[in-house]
Structure 1
């Protein structure tokens, strides 16, 4: 009986945040859909400006749970600018929380609404979210030979033409680094050896296609590339072996005490333009990440372990940045669910919004 109560209490630690974040999705989707319809005859830039503001509201609510609710300590290193820029955000990839880390960085630059992702193609079928991410400027890509360079260029060029603020998130590894799936790591290292590139230990060998297309297409519009290295404290076992990074469920259960985020700003003019040279440049950037992570996880001096080899500082997200969005979206959702008409609208949004969204992304593909 006592064990059941403990397990039930533990589950509530993530069920409540998950219920609120998913439960407010139809409310957000309806607000966005109304604006999308009203803005159909307006310039694309105006649509995106309001869409960015709406997106800021939703993602601020998400950050309430992932930062304020969990109480995680965010430790920043490097040279994160305080101003908004048009950037490409390149990061190592370990878990689903990595997507939230991009929001954590962007909100500290007042650029949360500008975040757009390069996503794996299969994610386009997510209920409601899959369609919306595409409408918000996200780009779905397939790997290797199925990569559609023209489709990615066309979408990016349309956004550049509309002068849309860009905070484009790319994970060049293409999949997650997971110590529990050694085959993926071994294949990545074999690929590096085949390409006569240095073999990496704590990151996978990066693939250059999406990064090259993004930088090449937006080269006259970009200000910089943010090279981001993320480490989750507590992901090494007693034998010094690296463990799997926390999932969203683990994170919301407050199983990650600290996140260490190293940011290096690279001016666009310092990046080679030819793909063959950019491939080498990108690998060199991941060599730097690998060295940072080796120092983080394997430093012989215990005092230097679990930190990057430079001075960092703790950055706390103020409640004013997240709580109002939570109250607004949850309040609107609760009001909708209090009436029979509202409940029908809510359910129909989930059902028909998902069906129409899946049909839309399938046709566009």
Structure 2
């Protein structure tokens, strides 16, 4: 019973803090977007850093989730890179913030996600403001989204670290059955611990970033040896992961093939290695590289962020209820998020405005 209550509290606070963060703390970015694109980017990244520290803190501080990281740990926070990862659960991108905060400069992390997530009040609004990349799973349209967003990051000299899940969906019973059928049709090895990757988007991503600068590709393998948070519903049932295990392998840009077709084959080879690595993990070792020491770096900032957001939610709700000005602010800003989201999305509008603003400044 206690674990169920804990799971419910995680979901409730996840939703409430995302609403509070976007409507109250991120809202100044609307003004910054109009007058200073650089300030717009900086403010949103700051809010992203602070809120994602809270999400990490919920697991590590309150529920003592242990994080194990091994392999090639990033050394340069300004590095421009692509992070490829197996997609074991729907929570992978969120839980990876525990590693991003420690080693990848989480404020520069941009995640490629399915398009419908942008419409979720609170968290979806925040992801739009952060210029996450939303896909419609139709390559003709997704190619345009990829290209325009990456051009924007290149033009503003932004050290983006882009997470892509080449499998396209998380590993579960239905997707695994589809994976078996796909492997049979194409005469491929049957995978039991991951899905065969879709490589078109990855190859295009590498090629596009190389036009300006790409430092490396990080191949991340994630595993959950005990409780697996397959979805939000599993959290509601109190299934909170005790351990998160990550193995990281860095490939310098110079090590990658030049041709897009060869890049696709390179990605497929990494997944074949990942399948073997995961089989060894789940059937024998329950650890990567024999690492049995949890990573506790940065714990203090997670504690501070957690305490801040736990306190700020009831304070914000109280002030919104009793303060007319704040109440109107919440209504107006929420309406703006809804309108902009269904028009084109703030991630698109902010890029359009940047080019308009920059072009106007050059003409003057």
Give TM-score scaled by structure 2 length.
Answer: 0.84
Structure 2 vs 1, CA of residues 94 and 192 (structure 1 numbering), >3 Å: closer, same or farther? farther
Kindly indicate whether residue 199 of structure 2 is the aligned counterpart of residue 205 of structure 1: no
C-alpha offsets along residues 92-113 of structure 1, whole Å, 9 cap, x if unaligned? 0011220123312210126111
* 3-state SS, counterpart of residue 284 of structure 1: helix
Matched, 1:40 2:16: no
1:310 Cα offset (Å): 4.8
**As a proportion of its length, which structure holds more helix?**
2
Q: Structure 2 regions of 5+ residues with no counterpart?
A: 350-364
User: Matched residues in 1 for 2:345 and 2:33: separation?
Assistant: 24
Evaluate the alpha carbon distance shift between residue 18 and residue 251 of structure 1 in structure 2; reply closer, same or farther with a 3 A threshold.
closer
Matched ranges for 1:33-182 at <5 A: 33-42=27-36, 44-84=37-77, 85-109=79-103, 111-145=105-139, 147-179=141-173, 182=176
- Classify the secondary structure of the residue corresponding to 1:24: helix
Which digits, 9 at most, give the CA deviation of each residue in 1:39-68, with x for residues without a partner? 4211x3332122211110111111111222
Question: Is the partner of 2:220 in helix, strand or coil?
Answer: strand
Taking the aligned partners of 2:149 and 2:287, their CA distance within structure 1 comes to 39
Structure 1, unaligned stretches of length 5 or more? 1-6, 236-243, 300-304
Q: Equivalents in 2 of 1:111, 1:146: separation in Å?
A: 31
Q: Partner residue of 1:4? A: none
Secondary structure, counterpart of 1:116 in structure 2 = strand
Separation in 2 of the partners of 1:153 and 1:128?
26
Please identify, of 275-284 and 199-208, the stretch whose mean Cα deviation from structure 2 is larger.
199-208
Note the aligned Cα RMSD (angstroms): 2.7
SS of residue paired to 1:108: helix
Aligned to 1:247: 231
Per-residue deviation, residues 256-315 of structure 1 (Å, max 9, x unmatched): 22221110011111111211101100000101101101111223xxxxx31234546421
Give the CA deviation at 1:361: 3.4
Which of 20, 23, 35 pairs up with 2:16? 23
- 4+ runs deviating over 6 angstroms: none
Q: TM-score under structure 1 normalisation?
A: 0.84
> Corresponding residue for 2:360?
none
Counterpart secondary structure, 1:256: coil
Alpha-carbon spacing, 1:187–1:245, altered in 2? closer, same or farther (3 Å) = farther
Q: Secondary structure, in 3 states, of the residue corresponding to 2:258?
A: coil
Counterpart Cα distance in 2 of 1:360 and 1:331? 34
Number of aligned pairs?
341
